[in-house]
């Protein structure tokens, strides 16, 4: 899956779940699906996600209890942006077997093989309308912990919101917001995880990987998603309480943390080297220059270059 940032006059900016305990599949009509005859034949061969199995493994109190699975959709984030507020609940999860218009950072497309990975969006409706990037990173950090347990090897966060394991990009996140006037209506965190895909397009195969490629065995997607949502629900609680330990936990896994790195700010390489201090309570990334001066940057401003 690939995620891309968009802005609408509903005020869409970013990437990051009220619960009704329902599990269902979205119909073609509801999602306005359009398939060619060729793809329609292909989609029948896809290994479908087993919602009942997922529900059996799910141990959360609210996250993912309201769950929808679709075989194909343009973008889960885009679809949920347009859904009426009365049809959105806190903690809702929309999972797609295939996203044909998946989006990532910097308007990049996200490649994901149908029926092999996990490409989904979390719907969150927090009362506070700030510190969203910390929540995105908390979700990413929960995913790092899940991957490390699955693979029994280290994983890390690549600023601002990619997950790296086995030297390859395994996952990415995209957060977007929808405002109703000045009030936050919903926060959407799109997450794409390469689970069982074993081949990628030539232009990305050197950088992209999957859990199956890293461990050599097929991963149970239903169990993996249920366990991940449990971890994210816990981290959401820490984020809501503004727990300082959460920041430390996140920082420990950001590539370049505590090291001297180079920066690209607003697309331009910044002269000199800086020591990465990590994210602060507002979600800004703090660095120290050679003279001891502290600089902070919003997540969209800065890219980290590790020599």
CATH number 3.40.50.1580 given to 22-251: no
Cα–Cα distance between 163 and 45 in angstroms, integer?
29
Same fold, 22-251 and 260-305: no
pLDDT digits (tens, 9 = 90+) for 119-133: 999 999 998 888 999
Strand partners, 265: 268, 302
Assigned fold of 260-305: SH3 type barrels. (2.30.30)
Return the percentage of the chain with pLDDT > 70, whole number: 82
pLDDT of residue 128: 85
pTM over 0.85: no
Q: Are strands 118-124 and 155-158 parallel, antiparallel or unpaired?
A: unpaired
Q: Is the pLDDT of residue 25 over 70?
A: no
Average pLDDT over residues 173-184: 93
Q: Is the pLDDT of residue 91 over 50?
A: yes
Tally the C-alpha atoms within 13 A of residue 16's C-alpha that lie toward its C-beta: 30
Cα–Cα distance between 295 and 148 in angstroms, integer?
32
SS3 95: strand
Cα–Cα distance between 171 and 220 in angstroms, integer?
16
Read off the pLDDT band of 280 (50, 70, 90).
very high
Instruction: Report the mean per-residue pLDDT for the chain.
Output: 86
pLDDT of residue 92: 98
pLDDT digits (tens, 9 = 90+) for 256-265: 999 999 999 9
Nearest to 263 by CA among 228, 291, 289, 232: 289
CB crowding 267-290: b at 16 or more within 10 Å, else e: eeebeeebbbbbbeeebbbbbeee
Q: What's the Cα-to-Cα distance from 43 to each of 27, 34, 38, 97, 254, rounded to whole Å?
A: 15, 12, 9, 9, 37
CB 304 within 8 A of CB 255: yes
Q: Is the pLDDT of residue 21 over 60?
A: no
Read off the pLDDT band of 103 (50, 70, 90).
low
Cα–Cα distance between 143 and 163 in angstroms, integer?
8
Q: Which of 9-18, 218-227, 275-284 has the highest mean pLDDT?
A: 218-227
Domain boundaries, the chain: 22-251, 260-305
First to last CA, the chain: 28
Q: Is the pLDDT of residue 62 over 50?
A: yes
């Amino acid at each position: 899956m690939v995620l891309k940032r968009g802005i609408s006059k509903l005020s869409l900016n970013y990437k990051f779940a009220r619960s009704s305990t329902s599990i269902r599949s979205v119909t073609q009509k509801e999602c306005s699906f359009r398939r060619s005859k060729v793809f329609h034949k292909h989609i029948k061969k896809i290994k479908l996600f087993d919602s009942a199995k997922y529900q059996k493994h799910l141990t959360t109190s609210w996250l993912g209890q309201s769950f929808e699975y679709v075989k194909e959709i343009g973008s889960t984030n885009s679809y949920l942006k347009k859904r009426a507020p009365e049809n959105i609940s806190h903690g809702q999860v929309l999972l797609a077997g295939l996203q044909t218009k998946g989006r990532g950072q910097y308007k990049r497309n996200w490649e994901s093989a149908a029926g092999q990975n996990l490409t989904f969006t979390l719907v969150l409706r927090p009362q506070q309308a700030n510190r969203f990037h910390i929540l995105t990173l908390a979700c990413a950090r929960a995913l790092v912990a899940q991957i490390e347990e699955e693979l029994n090897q280290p994983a890390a966060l690549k600023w601002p919101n990619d997950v790296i394991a086995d030297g390859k990009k395994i996952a990415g996140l995209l957060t977007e917001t929808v405002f109703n006037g000045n009030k936050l209506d919903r926060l959407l965190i799109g997450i794409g995880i390469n689970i069982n895909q074993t081949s990628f397009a030539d232009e990305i195969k050197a950088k992209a990987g999957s859990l199956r490629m890293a461990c050599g065995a097929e991963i149970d997607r239903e169990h993996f998603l249920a366990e991940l949502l449990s971890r994210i629900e816990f981290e959401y609680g820490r984020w809501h309480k503004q727990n300082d330990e959460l920041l430390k936990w996140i920082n420990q896994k950001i590539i370049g943390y505590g090291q001297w790195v180079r920066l690209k700010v607003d697309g331009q390489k910044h002269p000199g080297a800086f020591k990465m201090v990590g994210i602060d309570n507002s979600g800004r990334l703090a660095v120290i220059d050679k003279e001891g001066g502290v600089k902070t940057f919003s997540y969209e401003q800065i890219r980290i270059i590790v020599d």
